[in-house]
Amino acid sequence: MSTILPEPHAYRPGKLARLKEGLRYQGGIGQWSWLLHRVTGVGILIFLIIHVLDTFFVVFNPALYDHTVAIYGGVFGGQYFWPLRWAFRLAELGLMATVLYHAINGVRVILFDFWSEGCKYQKESFVAVLIVFLALMVPAAVVVILPLASSPDHMVKVPANTPNP
Amino acid sequence: MARNRIKPQGGFELTAWYFMRISGLMLVFLAVGHLFIMHIANNVENINYAFVAGRWANPRTGWIWRLWDMSMIALAMFHGFNGLRQILDEHVHGAKARVAMHTTLWAVMTTLLVLGTYAIWMFQVDKAYVEQFKAMNSGAGSHASVK
Ligand code: HEM
Ligand code: HEM
């Protein structure tokens, strides 16, 4: 199932044909956990690029920073939109799940690398990853979603200009 | 299984292989800890300029958070961009295209690293702004209350 095969002799031409071939290939859990590790890795990187750019606002325009993070609470252009707040909460959960999966599965990959016998327990260890993931994610989801039950009683107001730029 | 899962024999790729593993283990603490602080210990709706100032410019503990964020940005950038390079290396084959791809990745990563490092170490609180913000948002019990 998860033995290391020699390089394939030939690929079919065309990205689409190769994609279809790849998805038909029965790599088992090893293949899917690896694909998910890759997708989550790139996902975190994309988030991190945006995150560093918006955090940079703190050093040149505090008001712009506050306007930006107010969107997180659903306040945009001085008005409150509840779907915006909900969307950001759900995206936040998605990001937490993405980081948690990549981290836990990453530890599993590292364990396999330094303990070669481990690869025999591909299935069992993946179940362990899922159990740890759920054990952390379920309580986290409760904490993140609960504040949505009460509507914000106060809207963030941001000073119009930086008085002291 | 994926080709890049196989341990390289030596040279840069072996160094990169070890780096991915060591940085990964450190990021478990740094990045998962960061998420815990931001989402579980705090409500994200409380994050604003004053919140960041209270962390980075704290006279006693500020250096800890600056050091934390500095380690996290450096490790996550190299780890993430090296991971992306490994993925693209499998798909980009032409010599010219590879040089262009590597150059772009390094340029983007360096720019972000410089911006992030600058923000972490050059940050100074704009006290007048914080006062004005607090005055405007001093509703009791509000989710956006500023401490
Ligand atoms: C939280 C702790 C983390 C751990 C334990 C971890 C672990 C790993 C490991 C073991 C690999 C495989 C390296 C290889 O196959 O040679 C990897 C790949 C990768 N990681 Fe992470 N990582 C973590 C955080 C991050 C973060 C924060 C980012 C984004 C900035 C990221 C992005 C990536 C990418 C893009 C890859 C390449 C995936 C591939 O080649 O399929 N990782 N990670
Ligand atoms: C939605 C989730 C997140 C929130 C609300 C958040 C919040 C913040 C805040 C408020 C700061 C400002 C500095 C501070 O107070 O320490 C910061 C900085 C930082 N965060 Fe996050 N964070 C999130 C997710 C992440 C993730 C997943 C990563 C890791 C890949 C990350 C990496 C960083 C880095 C590297 C910095 C320093 C940025 C710089 O130097 O400009 N954050 N974050």
Query: Does some domain include residue B129?
Result: yes
Q: State the pTM of this model.
A: 0.88
**pLDDT at residue B146 is higher than 50:** no
Total domains, chain B? 1
pLDDT of A80 reads 86
Query: With a 6 A CB cut-off, is B57 part of the ligand 1 pocket?
Result: no
At residue B47, the pLDDT reads 92
User: B141 in a domain, yes or no?
Assistant: no
CB pair distance less than 8 Å for A147 and B127: no
Which chain B residue's Cα is nearest to A96?
Answer: B35
Whether residue A92 lies inside any domain: the answer is yes
* Structural domains in chain A (count): 1
Beta bridge partners of A75: A80
Decide if A18 is inside a domain.
no
Q: Is residue B106 part of a domain?
A: yes
The 3-state DSSP class for residue B146 equals coil
* A39 within ligand 1 shell (Cβ under 6 A): no
B67-98 pLDDT per residue, tens: 999 999 999 999 999 999 999 998 888 899 99
Pick the residue from chain B with its C-alpha nearest to A144. B39
Q: Residue B38 sits in a domain of what CATH number? A: 1.20.1300
For residue range A73-99, list pLDDT tens digits in order: 888 887 888 899 999 999 999 999 999
pLDDT at A22 over 80: no
Does the pLDDT value for residue B40 go beyond 50? yes
Distance of alpha carbon B115 from alpha carbon B100, whole angstroms: 23
Nearest 10 degrees: CA dihedral of B97, B103, B108, B110? 160
Other Cβ atoms less than 10 A from the Cβ of A139: the count is: 11
The whole-number average pLDDT for the span A127-146 is 95
Residue A1 predicted with pLDDT over 60: no
Residue B53 lies in a domain: yes
Query: For the segment A93-119, what is each residue's pLDDT rounded down to a tens digit?
Result: 999 999 999 999 999 999 988 887 777
Domain CATH code at residue A106: 1.20.1300.10
Model ipTM value: 0.90
Which residue range forms the structural domain that includes residue A43?
27-149
Contact A101, A40 (CB under 8 A): yes
In this complex, which of A48, A99, A109 lies closest to B32 when CB atoms are compared? A99
Q: Is residue B146, in this structure, part of any structural domain at all?
A: no
The separation between CA A96 and the C-alpha centre of its own chain, rounded to angstroms, equals: 6
Quick check: is A164 in a domain?
no
From the list A2, A56, A165, the residue facing B1 with the nearest CB is: A2
In a domain, A61, yes or no: yes
C-alpha dist (Å) from residue A45 to A2, A95, A98, B21, B87: 28, 11, 11, 17, 13
Answer whether residue B32 is part of any domain: yes
| A147 with B133: Cβ contact below 8 A | no
In a domain, A140, yes or no: yes
Percent of chain A clearing pLDDT 90 (strictly above) = 50
* B8 domain residue, yes or no: no
Mean pLDDT, chain A, rounded, equals: 84
| Domain presence at residue B18 | yes
At B62 the pLDDT is: 95
Suggest the residue from B18, B112, B143, B146 to mutate for an interface test with chain A (most A CBs closer than 10 A). Answer: B143
Distance from the Cα of B89 to chain A's closest Cα (Å) equals 14
Q: How far is the CA of B86 from the centre of ligand 1 (A)?
A: 11
Are A73 and A156 within 8 A, CB to CB? yes
Task: Tell me whether residue A38 is in a domain.
Answer: yes
Host H or E run for residue A76 = strand A75-76
- Residue A1 within a domain: no
Q: Is residue A15 part of a domain?
A: no
Q: Which domain holds residue B83?
A: 13-136
Contact A69, B48 (CB under 8 A): yes
